[in-house]
């Protein structure tokens, strides 16, 4: 059984999609990050970094219980466990390259672009420009790669597509103010729409509707989400 620690944000969405695609049995454990539940001792025992997603596999290697945290590590672990969505021996190097491109580029720049446009106490034009432009650059790189391809690996649906799907849903928030945010990236729009139409993606998206997570906006939620912005309490 997979114990899946979840919130309705892009990185958990990738893992939800994989679990639904494979049919692996899992139990959902919602973590309300705006309430600070990710900082509880019980969750820090699962992920010392205090982030979602995380999993505990009660039937890990050798039948031993193991924890896995970070969405990319979880996808790779579950892919090895099931033997699914890892690409072929010929395409796996390409899959790993794009998977890490998304993890180290698309995700972080998306996150910072959203932060400085919505969460910063005051607008900082340089920061907004820096992170939006880098988000757009990464989208352009991936969009150009997708020309003439159904999926990132060509014909094969893989972990890289699942990882991209988790973030492409957030493009409207990243590119704040743009009317049709994926219009400039038609190949990515095609990829996103194709994955979103899959039954597993519909089930993964429906998970968020099961819970009422706290809305970000008050001082307590900002302290929960961005604790490093505040001095340590004596």
Domains annotated for the chain, with CATH where assigned, are 2-84+203-229 (3.40.30.10), 92-197 (1.20.1050.10)
Instruction: Give the sheet arrangement for strand 26-30, strand by strand.
Output: 26-30, 2-6, 54-57, 66-69
The predicted-structure confidence for 137-169, as pLDDT tens digits, reads as follows 999 999 999 999 999 999 999 999 999 999 999
Q: How far apart are CA 3 and CA 25, in angstroms?
A: 9
Helices (H), 169-206: 171-174, 186-196, 199-206
At residue 87 the predicted structure's pLDDT band, cuts being 50, 70 and 90, is very high
Residue 3: phi, psi to the nearest 5? -90, 115
Region 38-54: mean pLDDT is: 96
The predicted-structure confidence for 183-225, as pLDDT tens digits, reads as follows 999 999 999 999 999 999 999 999 988 888 988 878 889 889 9
């Amino acid at each position: 059984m997979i114990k899946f620690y979840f919130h309705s944000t892009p990185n958990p969405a990738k893992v939800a999609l994989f679990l639904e695609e494979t049919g692996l049995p899992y139990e959902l454990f919602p973590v309300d990050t705006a309430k600070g539940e990710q900082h509880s001792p019980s969750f820090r025992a699962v992920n010392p970094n205090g982030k979602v997603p995380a999993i505990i596999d009660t039937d890990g290697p050798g039948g031993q219980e193991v924890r896995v945290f970070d969405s990319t590590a979880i996808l790779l672990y579950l892919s090895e466990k099931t033997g699914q969505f890892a690409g072929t021996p010929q395409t796996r190097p390409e899959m790993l390259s794009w998977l890490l491109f998304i993890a180290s580029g698309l995700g972080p720049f998306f996150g910072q672009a959203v932060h400085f446009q919505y969460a910063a106490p005051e607008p900082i034009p340089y920061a907004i420009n820096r992170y939006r432009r880098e988000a757009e650059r990464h989208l352009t790189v991936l969009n150009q790669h997708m020309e003439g391809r159904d999926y990132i690996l060509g014909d094969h649906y893989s972990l890289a597509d699942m990882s991209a799907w988790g973030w492409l849903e957030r493009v409207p928030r990243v590119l704040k103010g743009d009317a049709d945010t994926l219009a400039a990236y038609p190949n990515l729009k095609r990829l996103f729409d194709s994955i979103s139409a899959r039954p597993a993606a519909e089930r993964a998206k429906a998970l968020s509707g099961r819970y009422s997570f706290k809305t970000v906006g008050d001082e307590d939620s900002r302290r929960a989400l961005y604790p490093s912005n505040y001095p340590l309490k004596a």
